């Protein structure tokens, strides 16, 4: 199947005209704004259909919103820093900047050739100093507020990428980058963090406002933030000043504690193991555990290893002596990094106790049942009645929970506490291709921020070797690293790390509002005008990364008085993936349908329609050749119907003067406009296209091609189709004699009084005798009426076994079915019987 018109010529012609007349460029403060944002990509060169689905959806949103009367901001940019560029550059021996620029050029060309209606004047490339200087600016602002800080901690080290990763970038213990996927290790390093934890509660509360986000994404964020309400309890250590603080959500189980467990990498662990007889053994145990991936340490059903450190605690309620262990399943980064072990009522504690031969003590009894520790094969984690719990025995556990918490607070041995699973955001990276951290290390002054007026700290271009060495690449660039201290003017060294690229994506959408501003990252006025983003379109894989970071950033910028809103976006759309042969398209695996060659062979309108028609946008789409064939047939037919009718269209019609025989098409037109409007509003683009295909059939079948209604229908059909296949529609539009762009045409109104067919009842005679009646919409074609008559149940009964000789239809009045003579007798019989 081929397109029987010069699609390449036509598409290019209109792309050039759009660019020349800047019709998609957006003024700074228009009334009736609509901010349509798609997640910006890594510049990866030739894009595949999976990449561009996102942008095609975004484009149809932008175009249909323009039709609806909005001034749409539809910007684009490139997440240009980061490892893909650097790794590719290392492999191909070219500078990451060159590689990045070349890829941007190719991808940008793809998108222009697809006819995506971006405001290219607002394009952002994050590796340009004009952009990344503001990362540095924000870093300094965060630092002043105590929101950027440096600490030495066990962090996630990816040996594949030779850099640390944020918690959000570790997926089931592995590097999140699909090309790497290495098992992540723990390393103790001094790193820069953003204090996202101090926004945990606001990030959680804010989810309530995200009225048009998928529930699934909101749930993932709630779980990621992971709020727990509980109590922090202090356990004295025998013979030590130091107390072990534990976080528990179940103070009702304090009497059931049979051990205390510390995380191997918790700070207190280091202090408590000093000088114990087993110190050497304990240290080698810790080292071994730290090599295990965290997710494995925590997994239920896995052997829980531990080692007794030779010290004991006192249970503050029962006064009992309990041993202190280091246990692999305790996380240094949650609660206090220590827990009280209650094997009878916590499954992990239960597994640990069984493996290490520790006692199990039941303190919550299921109603009407007596639990015996030696008969239990798992922990009892439900509510029940308290037993073996001193003065609190016989209380329902939920009440005991409250009373013990009160008691602990009264006695000053602990306090109520809220814990979050969310960890601070580790933002320093040991790689080259990123934003330099604007800090200086001075022997005398310590860590000194680079003064604002010295920004940007430029990333050096000349690097002898940007291969990762297990330490920061920039540390090896003498001209960069050696500087003077801004405070004492003596020799000092720059911070050798660069920032996580998720910093760039946390605020790029704000820079689009004011991309040329050299005095500030963006104007406050612009944020007040444009935010929140009206529709954000992207992948669900960002649910617990980017989509949390950009909310965090927006809240901080709001608190800094730089941004007018606290939530960046209240309406999020997550699109489905594109599969090829059942597998997700992927550039790193070279598995995909590539946009460049596709456009040359089939054209942009075909690509757009195929992507949109094949599946609802939120669903996964399995790419098939047949989709393209169907799409091309449709495009050819669109062109043909206008051509056959000499591009004669009518822009207006007198609603009161629709002839009776034109009512059918007129009603179909109104129905189609209404349906497409609703489909567009609900992201049902596949259905909208299906409606247009049906309507095109009606147009072809229509007999009176010289009627005003027909021409008026052609005109409206073209406008409805234009967001999906903008190039062909522009071309036809011009051939119809219009001067402007169809892309700027408003969506048509429909006549709400003419949406339904009136019906007529038609009596059916068989051999001259009235046998049945059918109702059909007025204006139904003769063939259709006859077909319906023959399908009528009663009629079928009467003519069963007979041959129909002739059917006479007197329009809207009567159908007469004449049967062959020799069979009439049987009819008479049946009729009688
Ligand atoms: C005793 C206890 C008894 C607990 C019981 C639970 C049930 P959520 O609810 O997910 O917030 N915990 C505390 N700190 C920990 C750490 N650093 N690493 C691993 N686990 C830790 O989990 C809170 C519970 O997780 C706490 O309540 C504690 O076990 C454990 F019948 O304390 B619980
Ligand atoms: Zn990695």
- pLDDT category at 833 given cuts 50, 70, 90 is very low
pLDDT tens per residue across span 219-263: 999 999 999 999 999 999 999 999 999 999 999 999 999 999 999
DSSP string over 544-564: TTHHHHHHHHHHHHHHTTS-S
Q: How far is the CA of 58 from the centre of ligand 2 (A)?
A: 30
Residue nearest atom 33 in ligand 1 by C-alpha distance: 248
What percent of the chain has a predicted confidence (pLDDT) above 70?
Answer: 98
Residues forming a β-bridge with 426: 193
Kindly give the number of the ligand 1 atom that is closest to the alpha carbon of 298. 19
Residue nearest atom 28 in ligand 1 by C-alpha distance: 248
pLDDT tens per residue across span 620-642: 999 998 999 999 999 999 999 99
- pLDDT category at 107 given cuts 50, 70, 90 is very high
* DSSP structure class, residue 422: -
* Ligand 1 binding pocket mutation candidate from 330, 335, 362 (most atoms within 8 A of CB): 335
* Ligand 1 binding pocket mutation candidate from 223, 248, 332 (most atoms within 8 A of CB): 248
Q: How far is the CA of 172 from the centre of ligand 2 (A)?
A: 13
Q: What is the pLDDT of residue 625?
A: 87
Q: What is the pLDDT of residue 469?
A: 67
**331 in ligand 1 pocket by Cβ < 6 Å?**
yes
Query: What mean pLDDT is predicted for residues 658-669?
Result: 91
Name the residue with higher pLDDT: 205 or 44: 205
Q: How far is the CA of 55 from the centre of ligand 2 (A)?
A: 27
Per the CB < 8 A criterion, the answer to whether 118 and 76 are in contact is yes
Query: What mean pLDDT is predicted for residues 795-812?
Result: 90
pLDDT greater than 60 at residue 678: yes
Q: How far is the CA of 440 from the centre of ligand 2 (A)?
A: 28
**423 in ligand 1 pocket by Cβ < 6 Å?**
no
Q: Chain-wide mean pLDDT for the chain?
A: 93
* Ligand 1 binding pocket mutation candidate from 223, 228, 232, 249 (most atoms within 8 A of CB): 249
pLDDT greater than 90 at residue 88: no
Closest ligand relative to 181 C-alpha: 2
* Ligand 1 binding pocket mutation candidate from 154, 227, 247 (most atoms within 8 A of CB): 247
Kindly give the number of the ligand 1 atom that is closest to the alpha carbon of 364. 31
**248 in ligand 1 pocket by Cβ < 6 Å?**
yes
**343 in ligand 1 pocket by Cβ < 6 Å?**
no
- pLDDT category at 544 given cuts 50, 70, 90 is very high
pLDDT greater than 90 at residue 87: no
Residue nearest atom 11 in ligand 1 by C-alpha distance: 228
Closest ligand relative to 339 C-alpha: 1
- Among 56-60, 94-98, 285-289, the range with the most confident prediction by mean pLDDT is 56-60
**Number of neighbours of residue 427 by Cβ within 10 angstroms:** 28
pLDDT greater than 80 at residue 826: no
Query: What mean pLDDT is predicted for residues 133-151?
Result: 98
**335 in ligand 1 pocket by Cβ < 6 Å?**
yes
Closest ligand relative to 254 C-alpha: 1
**340 in ligand 1 pocket by Cβ < 6 Å?**
yes
Structure tokens given for 279: 């110190």
Q: How far is the CA of 160 from the centre of ligand 2 (A)?
A: 5
Residue 576 CB contacts under 8 Å (≥ 6 apart), including other chains: 53, 615, 616, 617, 618, 619, 620, 621
Kindly give the number of the ligand 1 atom that is closest to the alpha carbon of 342. 3
**196 in ligand 1 pocket by Cβ < 6 Å?**
no
Query: What mean pLDDT is predicted for residues 330-336?
Result: 93
Kindly give the number of the ligand 1 atom that is closest to the alpha carbon of 228. 11
pLDDT greater than 80 at residue 138: yes
Q: What is the pLDDT of residue 830?
A: 47
- pLDDT category at 302 given cuts 50, 70, 90 is confident
- pLDDT category at 821 given cuts 50, 70, 90 is low
Structure tokens given for 752: 């709400």
Q: What is the pLDDT of residue 832?
A: 39
| Statement: the pTM of the whole predicted model exceeds 0.85 | yes
**346 in ligand 1 pocket by Cβ < 6 Å?**
yes
Helices 604-613 and 595-602: angle between axes, nearest 10 degrees:
110
pLDDT tens per residue across span 637-648: 999 999 999 999
pLDDT tens per residue across span 366-375: 988 889 999 9
Nearest CA-CA partner of 354 in 386, 385, 323, 376: 376
Q: What is the Rg, in whole angstroms, of the alpha carbon atoms belonging to the chain?
A: 35
Measured distance CA(423)–CA(219) in Å, rounded: 18
Beta strands in 328-433 (DSSP E): 338-341, 364-365, 385-386, 414-420, 425-426, 428-429
Q: How far is the CA of 491 from the centre of ligand 2 (A)?
A: 35
Q: What is the pLDDT of residue 831?
A: 45
Query: What mean pLDDT is predicted for residues 643-670?
Result: 93
Beta strands in 412-527 (DSSP E): 414-420, 425-426, 428-429, 439-442, 446-449, 482-484, 491-494, 498-499
**305 in ligand 1 pocket by Cβ < 6 Å?**
no
* Ligand 1 binding pocket mutation candidate from 223, 233, 269, 334 (most atoms within 8 A of CB): 334
What percent of the chain has a predicted confidence (pLDDT) above 90?
Answer: 80
pLDDT greater than 60 at residue 170: yes
* Ligand 1 binding pocket mutation candidate from 229, 246, 337, 339 (most atoms within 8 A of CB): 339
pLDDT tens per residue across span 376-424: 999 999 999 999 999 999 999 999 999 999 999 999 999 999 999 999 9
Residue nearest atom 10 in ligand 1 by C-alpha distance: 228
Q: What is the pLDDT of residue 661?
A: 87
pLDDT greater than 90 at residue 760: no
Query: What mean pLDDT is predicted for residues 170-194?
Result: 88
**158 in ligand 1 pocket by Cβ < 6 Å?**
no
Residues with CB under 5 A from ligand 2 (ion): 158, 160-161, 175, 180, 182
Q: What is the pLDDT of residue 668?
A: 95
DSSP string over 699-730: HHH-S-TTSHHHHHHHHHHHHHHTTTSHHHHH
Pairing verdict, β 33-38 and 482-484: unpaired
Residue nearest atom 31 in ligand 1 by C-alpha distance: 345
Q: How far is the CA of 100 from the centre of ligand 2 (A)?
A: 20
**422 in ligand 1 pocket by Cβ < 6 Å?**
no
Kindly give the number of the ligand 1 atom that is closest to the alpha carbon of 421. 11
- pLDDT category at 462 given cuts 50, 70, 90 is confident
Q: What is the pLDDT of residue 595?
A: 95
Name the residue with higher pLDDT: 188 or 53: 53
Kindly give the number of the ligand 1 atom that is closest to the alpha carbon of 344. 31
**247 in ligand 1 pocket by Cβ < 6 Å?**
yes
Residues forming a β-bridge with 574: 538
Q: What is the pLDDT of residue 403?
A: 97
């Amino acid at each position: 199947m081929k397109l029987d018109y010069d699609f390449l010529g036509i598409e290019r012609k209109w792309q050039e005209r759009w660019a020349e007349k800047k019709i998609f460029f957006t003024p700074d403060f228009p009334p009736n704004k609509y901010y349509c944002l798609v997640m910006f990509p890594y510049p990866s060169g030739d894009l595949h259909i999976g990449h561009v689905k996102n942008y095609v959806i975004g484009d149809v949103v932008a175009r249909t919103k323009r039709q609806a009367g909005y001034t749409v901001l539809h910007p684009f940019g490139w997440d240009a820093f980061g490892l893909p560029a650097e790794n590719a550059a290392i492999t191909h021996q070219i500078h990451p900047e060159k590689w990045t620029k070349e890829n941007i050029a190719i991808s940008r060309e793809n998108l222009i050739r697809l006819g995506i209606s971006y405001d290219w004047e607002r394009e952002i490339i994050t590796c340009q100093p004009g952009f990344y200087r503001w990362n540095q600016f924000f870093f300094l602002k965060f630092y002043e507020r105590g929101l950027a800080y440096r600490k030495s901690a066990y962090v996630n080290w990816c040996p594949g990428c030779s850099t640390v990763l944020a918690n959000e970038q570790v997926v089931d213990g592995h590097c999140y980058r699909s090309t790497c996927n290495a098992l992540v290790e723990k390393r103790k390093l001094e790193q820069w963090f953003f204090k996202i934890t101090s926004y945990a509660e606001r990030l959680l509360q804010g989810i309530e406002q995200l009225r048009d986000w998928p529930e699934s994404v909101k749930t993932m964020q709630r779980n990621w933030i992971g709020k727990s309400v509980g109590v922090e309890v202090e356990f004295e250590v025998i013979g030590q000043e130091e107390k072990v603080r534990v976080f528990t959500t179940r103070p009702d189980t304090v009497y059931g504690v049979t051990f205390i467990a510390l995380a191997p990498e918790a700070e207190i662990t280091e202090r408590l193991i000093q000088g114990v007889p087993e110190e050497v053994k304990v240290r080698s145990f810790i080292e071994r555990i730290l090599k295990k991936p965290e997710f494995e340490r925590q997994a239920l059903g896995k052997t829980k290893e531990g080692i007794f450190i030779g010290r004991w605690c006192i249970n503050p309620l029962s006064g009992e002596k309990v041993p202190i262990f280091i246990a692999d399943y305790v996380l240094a980064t949650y609660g206090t990094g220590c827990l009280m072990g209650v094997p009878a009522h916590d499954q992990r504690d239960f597994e640990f106790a069984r493996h290490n031969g520790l006692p199990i003590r039941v303190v919550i009894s299921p109603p009407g049942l007596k639990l015996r520790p030696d008969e239990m094969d798992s922990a009892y984690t439900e509510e029940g009645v308290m037993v073996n719990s001193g003065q609190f025995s016989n209380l329902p556990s939920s009440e005991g929970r409250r009373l013990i918490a009160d008691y602990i607070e009264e006695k000053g041995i602990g306090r109520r506490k809220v814990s979050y699973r969310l960890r601070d955001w580790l933002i320093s990276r040991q790689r080259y291709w990123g934003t330099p951290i604007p800090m200086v290390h001075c022997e005398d002054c310590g860590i000194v921020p680079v003064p604002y007026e010295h920004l940007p700290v430029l990333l050096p271009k000349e690097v002898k070797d940007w291969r990762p060495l297990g330490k920061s690449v920039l540390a090896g660039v003498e001209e960069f690293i050696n500087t003077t201290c801004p405070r004492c003017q003596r020799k000092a060294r720059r911070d050798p790390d660069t920032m996580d690229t998720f910093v760039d994506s946390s605020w790029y959408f704000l820079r689009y509002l004011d991309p040329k501003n050299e005095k500030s990252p963006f104007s406050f006025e612009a944020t007040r005008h444009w935010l929140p983003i009206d529709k954000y379109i992207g992948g669900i894989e960002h649910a617990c990364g980017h989509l949390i970071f950009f909310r965090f950033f927006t809240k901080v910028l709001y608190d800094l008085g730089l941004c007018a809103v606290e939530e960046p976006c209240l309406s999020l759309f997550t699109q489905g993936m594109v599969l090829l042969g059942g597998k997700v398209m992927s550039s790193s695996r070279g598995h995909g349908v590539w946009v460049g060659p596709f456009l040359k062979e089939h054209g942009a309108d075909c690509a757009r329609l195929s992507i949109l028609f094949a599946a609802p946008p939120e669903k996964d789409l399995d790419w098939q050749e047949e989709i393209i064939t169907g799409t091309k047939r449709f495009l050819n037919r669109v062109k043909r119907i206008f051509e056959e009718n000499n591009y004669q269209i009518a822009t207006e019609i007198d609603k009161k003067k629709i002839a009776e025989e034109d009512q059918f098409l007129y009603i179909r037109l109104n129905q189609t406009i209404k349906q497409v409007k609703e489909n567009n509003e609900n992201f049902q683009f596949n259905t909208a296209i299906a409606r247009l295909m049906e309507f095109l059939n009606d147009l072809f079948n229509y007999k009176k091609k010289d009627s005003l209604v027909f021409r008026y229908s052609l005109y409206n059909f073209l406008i409805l189709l234009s967001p999906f296949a903008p190039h062909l529609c522009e071309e036809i539009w011009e051939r119809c004699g219009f001067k402007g762009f169809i892309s700027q045409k408003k969506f048509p109104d429909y006549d709400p009084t003419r949406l339904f067919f009136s019906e007529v009842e038609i009596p059916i005679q068989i051999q001259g005798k009235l046998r049945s009646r059918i109702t059909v919409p007025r204006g139904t074609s003769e063939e259709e009426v006859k077909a319906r008559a023959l399908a009528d149940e009663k009629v079928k009964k009467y003519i069963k076994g007979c041959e129909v000789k002739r059917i006479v239809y007197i329009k809207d009045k009567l159908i007469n079915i004449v049967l062959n003579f020799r069979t009439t007798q049987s009819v008479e019989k049946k009729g009688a019987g």
